[in-house]
Amino acid sequence: MQPEFVHIDLTDAKLKWLPPCKRIYGPKEVELFKKSIAIDRISGALSLICEKISLTDVPPGVLDDRQVEFENAYHPGVALSNHKKTPKTHPNSAVLPNKEAQEFDFNKLSEPVKVVLRLLKRLDALIAETPPFKGPRRYGNMACRDLHDKLNSRIDNWIRKELGKWYLKDDYASNNYGGTSYNFETELKYYFLGSFGSRERLDFGTGHELSFLAFIASLLMCDILPRNETTGVEYLVMFSKYYDLVRKLIQTYTLEPAGSHGVWGLDDHFHLIYILGAFQMVDFLSLEKGEKSMKALNYRMGLTPASVLNTRILKQNRTRNLYYNAIAFIKRVKFGPFNEHSPLLFDVCTSKTWEKIAKGMLKMYYGEVLSKFPVVQHFYFGHVLFPWVDRKTGQPLPETSPEDEEPTDVDMQSNKYDISSNDISGPFDKAGSATNYRSGPEVAMDSLYGKREKELEKLHTEREITSFTGKRDGGELPTSLSMWPTNTPKNRNDLNSNV
């Protein structure tokens, strides 16, 4: 059963639009979040999208094959923007010919979907305007902060221009609190801005994916994206263009994985993409009923989950299915045996069916993303779209502050989710279910983030007070020998002579 999905009338003058704010400061608020209207709306949007995209291909020419082409990958985790080598075409490459790649007509998309694509295209143009700084860097490229500053300064105008006709009407009366006028864009823009990584931490992760899902959910709730008319192909086009764009961000500015568990995690940056790709391969309605589907078997034409590990089949399907697309990106940025750098994905692909993977990835999303403090602490709550309100009572949930939180037990272990379970509902739907949200590795990562933030702040301060000359073109400062153990000369005198 899909969670109830609300309709919001943008012309209702009684709606109290307010800027989203932070509500989650620790595990206590995570428990409250699981009881909120906000998580129901996220779950409802995800269920709707999964139903629409089942047994549907990404149209030819939509996904950028260059972003996931792993045949000529030259180095993992290095920004590709300055790489001048022209990739060679592999004889067995599944890159579609230009004629076939252009078969999909974007003009046939509905106007709301075109609006989403135009917003993404505007940000893509900003990336071109904001090249990464030259020179070595340990974490992310500081030019990404300039990109976020530009995006923040322009987003209001973008949304008004692209979406204004849906909410800026003559009979529309926006609220006025404390002399400040708020409306739909006040809440909506936060979720768009949060979809492209962190300006402060220079990273990207599942929390940013969640923000884009919330952005799409907002358009659905307000009927800008008509839920009964928007097709599975259109959902796949929007998410495909989003993933192309964020991969470009990650590779251009060398964004760190946000909260990655390394080889013990599913993926360094993504989770939602695996849900979408898995549901492309199954019959959603039959899956809900626990029945076998001949439609799914005919659609898959013998493609099993283990086929993603076959190089030839992976090439053939990486631009038509998001699951294959995600695996191809991993092979592009990571070297070595797949079972060593991605053991969890390897185990899933070799031991589960598509139906079990779809249900398991969805359940894991509730357990490892929506129920994890390090992720959802960055999700903010407004008053209309994603309110901090109890879904049963309709009353505001308790508000706390960082000072109200008790110290976290370092030894708490996170729950593990069996992806072979038949239950596709989230663990928050079960009374009495218990989840520990701060495992030992997560606490250790928090400590690492703290140290990293201090070094980033130091670099940022030095950059602001220092003017550059020579070939560095405003690049980042060289730092101590200890900060660049793999890139600096062995002789300190050589280091000083190079500055």
148 CB contacts (<8 Å, ≥6 apart)?
193, 196, 199
The answer, as to whether pTM is greater than 0.85, is: no
pLDDT at 59: 96
Give the chain's end-to-end CA distance (angstroms, integer): 63
SS3 382: strand
Place of tokens 């739907």: 429
pLDDT attached to residue 495 = 35
Residue 219 has a pLDDT of: 97
- Which among 266, 260, 259, 261 has a CA at the least distance from the CA of 347? 266
CA–CA dist 190, 472 (Å, integer)? 34
If we measure between CA atoms, which residue out of 66, 64, 62 comes closest to residue 105? Answer: 62
pLDDT tens by residue, the chain, 499 residues:
455 678 999 988 889 999 999 999 999 999 999 999 999 999 999 999 999 999 999 999 999 999 999 877 654 444 443 443 433 433 333 333 333 445 788 999 999 999 999 999 999 999 999 999 987 677 789 999 999 999 999 999 999 999 999 988 654 445 555 445 799 999 999 999 999 999 999 999 999 999 999 999 999 999 999 999 999 999 999 999 999 999 999 999 999 988 766 666 788 899 999 999 999 999 999 998 888 899 999 999 989 999 999 999 999 999 999 999 999 999 998 888 898 889 999 999 998 999 999 999 999 999 999 999 999 999 999 999 999 999 999 999 998 877 665 544 433 344 444 554 555 544 334 433 333 333 444 444 445 445 555 666 666 566 655 544 444 444 433 333 333 333 333 343 443 434 3
**CB-based contact 307:356 (threshold 8 Å):** no
24 close to 379: Cβ distance less than 8 angstroms: yes
pLDDT number for residue 437: 33
